[in-house]
Structure 1
Amino acid sequence: MVDAGDKLNTSHFQSHLKRANLLFSHSNAAKSQQAPPKKAYFVLLDHFSMSCFSVVLDTLVTLNMVHDQPIYDCQTYSLQDCKALSDISIEIPTNGNIQDIKLEKGAILVICGGFRSMLKSEPRLNALLVKATQYHVTIMGLWNGSFYIADSKIPIGQAISIHQDNKAIMEEHFPDLNLSTSNFTHALTQDSTLLTCSGPNSALDMMLHYIVSAYGSDYSQAVAEVIGSDRNSATSTKITKHFLRSELHIPNAVKDSITLMENNLEDLLSIDELAKLVGISRRQIERLFKVNVGVTPARYYLEHRLTHARQLLQQSNLSVFEVSIACGFISSAHFSRTYHRFFGQSPTETRRLSQAV
C-alpha cells in the first residue's frame, strides 16, 4: 500500500480543502493573540424577517468559527422596550434600544426589516444612520430595511435593493433611486460601505460577497462550506464534488483523478496508477494538478484523506485505529503524527472536542 504523505514535509492545507478545514486547523499561537472583536449591531424592526436576520447572523457567527479568532460581537437592538416582534410572531429580547448603540469604527450596522414592517420615518434611526457614516461603519439593509436607509438621506450609490412588495412605496417616496428587487447591491461611498438585499435568498449571497471583499475568498468559501453547501447539490455530501462543479475550467483528467482518490481512500492508488487510469502520463498529471489545484496529486490525496479522517472522527464511533485504516495510513501512530501536524491536535482531541459541543 502506497502512503502518499511519506515524503511531504509541509503541515498545512494548501488545496481548496483548506476552506473546509479552516475551523479545525488553527494554531494555538494564533488563537492566543486575539484582538477585540468588532461590533455587529442588528436593529430589529417590528415584524422583522426572522429568516433574513438568521442568515446574516449565522454567517457572521460562522465566520467567527472558521477564523483563528472571533471577528464580530453580534448584538441586537430594538426601537423601544428592548424587544422586537418577528414576522413569525416570536418576540425577541434585545440587548437594548437603538439609543444604547455605541458606534465604533469597523463595525457593522444591520437594519432588519420584514414583510409587515411599518414603513415610516424614524428620526432616531435616521440619526443613527447618519452617525454611522461619520464612523465609516458598514451599513446593511435587509428586506425593506433599505427604506430607512434611503429615508436617512445618507449617500447610497447607484442602486439599492428592496423587497418586491415595497417597490411601489419606494418609487413614491424616492423617485430618483435605482431599485433592485431580485438580488443584493453593494455600494462604496465616500463615507461608508452599503449593502442591501431584498430577501433571505439574496441575504446569503450578500454576506458571502461581503466576506470576500473584507476577508478574502478562502474565508467566504469556508463559511459557504458550512452554511451554503446544500445549494450546490441536493444529494452529494462530498466536498470535492462542490469543488469540481464550481470550477468549470478543471480538466477532465483532474476531475477523474480526484474522483478516483475519493473512491480509493483505504487501498490507495499510486500516482502512476492514477495517471494510467485517466489515460495520461505521470508528468502530465503532476503538471495539471499544480496548475489547476495548486498542489501535487500526492499532496491532494493526503489532504483529502485527512479531511475525511477529521469527518469520521467527529461524526462516527470508529476508533482512531479504524479511522486510520479507512483513510489509508500505514499505522495509527503515523496517522496520529500526520493528523497532529495539520490540525494542531491529536485525533483523540478532535473527537473529544466534537463531543463536548
Structure 2
Amino acid sequence: MSIEPQIVDVETTGKPRRFVFVLMRNFTMLCFASAIESLRLANRTAGKQLYSWKIVSENGEDVACSNGCAFRVDSDLIDLDRDDMIMMCGGLDVQAATTKRTLNWLRREARRGATIAGLCTAAYTLAKAGLLDGKRATIHWENQDSFAEEFEDVTLTKSVFVVDGNRITTAGGTASIDLMLKIIADDFGEDLANAVADTLIYSAIRTDQDTQRLSIPTRIGVRHPKLSRVIQMMEANIEDPISPAILAKDVGMSTRQLERLFRRYLVRSPKRYYMELRLQKARNLLMQTDMTVINVALACGFASPSHFSKCYRSHYDTTPYRERGSHAARILG
C-alpha cells in the first residue's frame, strides 16, 4: 500500500538547485545517504522538483565506501554551473583519497565562485586545497587533533556543522541531515524542513550552535560538576599538562578529594586518566598525520621521545614507530 505524503506548498522560481556529490574513496555511506535522502524527501514533500543532484568521482570510476558497498557514479569530475553546490563526501583515510587532481579541480571551481561543502572528513580536503584558510570549520571529533595540528589558519570548532560564507563543513554521520534541513529551511521555509524531518523520524534538529559530542557528564556517566570541570581542563591542556594539585585547587578542592572522585567515578587516578587522554591524542596524530614521532610526543606533553615511547608501549602494547608502521601496512594492504 502506497501512502501519499502530505504536500507542503512552496513557491519556486527558476530551475531546481543542483547538488554535485563527489564520492571519495572509503567515504562514509551515512553522511552521503543522509544528505541525498533529505533532498529527495524535500522534492517528495513539496510535490515538485526543488533539487536535483549528480554523483561524480575522480575518473568517473565506481567508488567503494567504508563499509565495502560500491557505488556507480554519473561521471568524472565535471565543469559546474556557478549555482551548483559541491558536496565532497569523505570517510576513512581521507589523506590518501585527497589527490592532486581533486585538489586542483576544487581550487578551480572555488575560483569560479562555487559553494563547496565537506561532509565528514572531507573538511580535510577543503583545508588541503586552501579553501578554509581564515574560516571556521568542523570535522569529525576523531580527526580534530590531526586537523588542528596541520591547518593552523583554520578556526576549528566542535560544532555539528559550520557555514562560513560559501564554505560548509559537517562533523559526519547524521550531521548531514541537520545541514540539509538548514539549507531546505533557508531555501523554502521552516514548514518544509520540519516536514522532511518528520518523514525521516528525526525529532531533534540540531543547529550550528550544537556540538557533535555528548557533554562530559553524559559521556563518562557522572553528574559531578567539579569532576566535569577538571576533565574539561585536562582535555583543553594536552600539550602543556596541568598537575593534579593545580587542577584540584582551581575547582576548590584538595588533591586527596580529587583523587577520591576519580577513583569513585572513573576507577583510576587523575594522573592515569590524564595520561590516557594524552596517549589517545598521540595515537590519533600517529595514524592521521605525517608528523614525526618526536613532534607527536611534544604535541602531547611528553618532554622526551624515550618517555613517550615507554608510556605508549605500556598502554598500547606496541611502540609509536610500530603503531605507525602497522597502520600504513593495513592501508596499503
State TM-score, norm by structure 1: 0.51
Mapped to 2, the partners of 1:167 and 1:141 lie a distance apart of: 14
Q: How far 1:125 moved relative to its partner?
A: 1.8
Secondary structure class of the residue paired with 2:6: helix
Pair 1:152-2:118 in alignment: no
Mapped to 2, the partners of 1:134 and 1:118 lie a distance apart of: 23
- Do the aligned partners of residues 118 and 89 (structure 1) sit closer, same or farther apart at CA in structure 2, a change above 3 Å counting? farther
Secondary structure class of the residue paired with 2:59: coil
Q: 2:178 — aligned with what? A: 205
Q: How far 1:194 moved relative to its partner?
A: 1.8
Give the length in aligned residue pairs.
201
Mapped to 2, the partners of 1:74 and 1:138 lie a distance apart of: 14
Secondary structure class of the residue paired with 1:149: helix
Q: 1:166 — aligned with what? A: 143
- Do the aligned partners of residues 72 and 84 (structure 1) sit closer, same or farther apart at CA in structure 2, a change above 3 Å counting? same
Deviations along 1:46-102, one digit per CA (max 9) or x if unpaired, are 11000000000001111222235312221111123521111110111111221xx13
Say which of 64, 80, 92 aligns to 2:59: 80
Secondary structure class of the residue paired with 1:195: strand
Which one-letter code corresponds to 2:116 in the other structure? I
1:1-357 correspondence to structure 2 within 5 Å: 21-23=6-8, 35-98=14-77, 101-119=78-96, 121-155=98-132, 158-188=135-165, 193-231=166-204
Mapped to 1, the partners of 2:84 and 2:151 lie a distance apart of: 27
Mapped to 2, the partners of 1:182 and 1:127 lie a distance apart of: 28
Q: 2:250 — aligned with what? A: none
- Matched-pair identity in %: 22
Mapped to 2, the partners of 1:167 and 1:229 lie a distance apart of: 26
Which one-letter code corresponds to 2:81 in the other structure? E
Which one-letter code corresponds to 1:165 in the other structure? E
Secondary structure class of the residue paired with 1:106: coil
Which one-letter code corresponds to 2:120 in the other structure? W
Mapped to 1, the partners of 2:46 and 2:134 lie a distance apart of: 31
- Do the aligned partners of residues 185 and 205 (structure 1) sit closer, same or farther apart at CA in structure 2, a change above 3 Å counting? same
- Do the aligned partners of residues 214 and 131 (structure 1) sit closer, same or farther apart at CA in structure 2, a change above 3 Å counting? farther
Which one-letter code corresponds to 1:44 in the other structure? L
Which one-letter code corresponds to 1:217 in the other structure? E
Secondary structure class of the residue paired with 2:33: helix
Secondary structure class of the residue paired with 2:174: helix
Mapped to 2, the partners of 1:69 and 1:34 lie a distance apart of: 12
Which one-letter code corresponds to 1:122 in the other structure? T
Q: How far 1:218 moved relative to its partner?
A: 2.2
Mapped to 1, the partners of 2:173 and 2:201 lie a distance apart of: 12
Which one-letter code corresponds to 1:224 in the other structure? A
Secondary structure class of the residue paired with 1:105: coil
* Contact in 2 for aligned 1:47/1:114 (Cα 8 Å): yes
- Do the aligned partners of residues 211 and 135 (structure 1) sit closer, same or farther apart at CA in structure 2, a change above 3 Å counting? farther
Mapped to 2, the partners of 1:181 and 1:229 lie a distance apart of: 21
- Do the aligned partners of residues 64 and 136 (structure 1) sit closer, same or farther apart at CA in structure 2, a change above 3 Å counting? farther
- Do the aligned partners of residues 181 and 221 (structure 1) sit closer, same or farther apart at CA in structure 2, a change above 3 Å counting? same
Structure 1 unaligned regions, length at least 5: 1-19, 233-357
RMSD: 2.5
Structure 2 unaligned regions, length at least 5: 206-333
Mapped to 2, the partners of 1:60 and 1:220 lie a distance apart of: 10
Which one-letter code corresponds to 2:151 in the other structure? F
* Contact in 2 for aligned 1:209/1:220 (Cα 8 Å): yes
Secondary structure class of the residue paired with 2:7: helix
- Do the aligned partners of residues 157 and 63 (structure 1) sit closer, same or farther apart at CA in structure 2, a change above 3 Å counting? farther
Q: How far 1:221 moved relative to its partner?
A: 1.5
Secondary structure class of the residue paired with 1:139: strand
* Contact in 2 for aligned 1:44/1:113 (Cα 8 Å): yes
- Do the aligned partners of residues 81 and 102 (structure 1) sit closer, same or farther apart at CA in structure 2, a change above 3 Å counting? closer
Which one-letter code corresponds to 1:223 in the other structure? V
Which one-letter code corresponds to 1:123 in the other structure? K
Which one-letter code corresponds to 1:22 in the other structure? I
Higher Cα radius of gyration = 1
- Do the aligned partners of residues 174 and 207 (structure 1) sit closer, same or farther apart at CA in structure 2, a change above 3 Å counting? same
